[in-house]
């Protein structure tokens, strides 16, 4: 299996678990301000630790794009957290993870990445997968505000994928890009937490869930960035963003969310898409 596929699958597993925890953690009455800040307390040292371990703590102008990614990521993850209060993970997360299509379209049109017939077919199947997975909301069976937040997060993550690719082409190291992103997130999370006025958690799920999510998301982004150095974003990003399959399975098993026939078709499309990207 090619290295970009391996790192994309690592990113998929880490991101899928983190998305599930965003929904599962609401049983602990998570507050958005403290959650985002505490998550960054784990996100930032994980990112810098991985960059140091890989010997990639090197300055590059591309790191400014990593910082900008942090500002976008803060908004995107905040939107997911709020959306999870109002809707089901099995419906909302597929919408968010459609962002790979935004990344693919942007990288093809702006930096000239190639789409082969196999990649195009796999991309189409992946789009069918996320649309089928979110069919409950599209058909009017879900919360409209949650849908708006999910779509907004989708576009933000799509732009992040493009900026990662451009930053790497400018000479930034993969883990250093994630470290720069963590700084951007912190610069957003700290004032937001102060404005909300909610106290930081000291124990229980409200403390450990954002810490675990910080480690998972940071490691996921490093895996994604390393994957970009081996292969095209049009291949790596869709595989990583199909993490909604794992999130949906966890939500069905542990949160008793329902898997309708149409959502089941979405899972099937997702599997076929990953297989095509792997061999194509």
- Domain membership of residue 153 as a residue range: 3-279
Number of structural domains in the chain: 1
Residue with tokens 């966890």: 250
- Taking only the tens place, the pLDDT of each residue in 183-226 is 999 999 999 999 999 999 988 899 999 999 999 999 998 898 88
Average pLDDT for the chain: 87
User: What is the rounded CA–CA span in Å between residue 59 and residue 173?
Assistant: 9
Band the pLDDT of 126: cuts 50, 70, 90: confident
Percent of the chain residues past pLDDT 70, beyond the cut: 95
Lowest mean pLDDT among 50-64, 85-99, 157-171, 257-271: 257-271
**Residue 233: pLDDT over 90:** no
Q: How many degrees, rounded to 5, is the angle at CA 251 between CA 11 and CA 146?
A: 85
Model confidence at 65, in pLDDT bands (50, 70, 90)? very high
CA distance 155 to 98: 9
């Amino acid at each position: 299996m090619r290295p970009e596929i391996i790192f994309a699958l690592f990113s998929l597993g880490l991101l899928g678990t983190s998305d599930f925890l965003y929904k599962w953690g609401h049983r602990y009455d998570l507050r958005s301000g403290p959650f985002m800040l505490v998550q960054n307390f784990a996100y930032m040292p994980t990112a810098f630790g991985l960059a140091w371990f890989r010997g990639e703590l090197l300055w590059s102008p591309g790191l400014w794009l990593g910082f900008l990614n942090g500002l976008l990521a803060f908004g995107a993850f905040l939107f997911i957290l709020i959306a999870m209060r109002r809707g089901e993970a099995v419906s909302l997360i597929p919408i968010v993870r459609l962002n790979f299509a935004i990344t693919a379209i942007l990288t093809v049109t702006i930096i000239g990445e190639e789409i082969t017939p196999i990649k195009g077919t796999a991309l189409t199947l992946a789009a069918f997968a996320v649309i089928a997975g979110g069919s409950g909301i599209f058909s009017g069976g879900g919360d409209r505000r949650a849908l708006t937040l999910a779509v907004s997060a989708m576009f933000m993550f799509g732009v992040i994928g493009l900026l990662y690719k451009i930053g790497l082409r400018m000479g930034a190291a993969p883990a250093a890009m994630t470290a720069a992103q963590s700084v951007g997130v912190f610069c957003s999370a700290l004032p937001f937490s102060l404005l909300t006025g909610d106290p930081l958690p000291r124990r229980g799920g409200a403390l450990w869930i954002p810490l675990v999510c910080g480690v998972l998301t940071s490691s996921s982004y490093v895996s994604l960035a390393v994957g970009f150095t081996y292969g095209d974003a049009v291949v790596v990003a869709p595989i990583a963003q199909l993490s909604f399959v794992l999130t949906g399975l966890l939500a069905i098993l542990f949160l008793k969310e329902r898997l309708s026939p149409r959502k089941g078709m979405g899972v099937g499309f997702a599997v076929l898409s990953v297989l095509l990207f792997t061999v194509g």
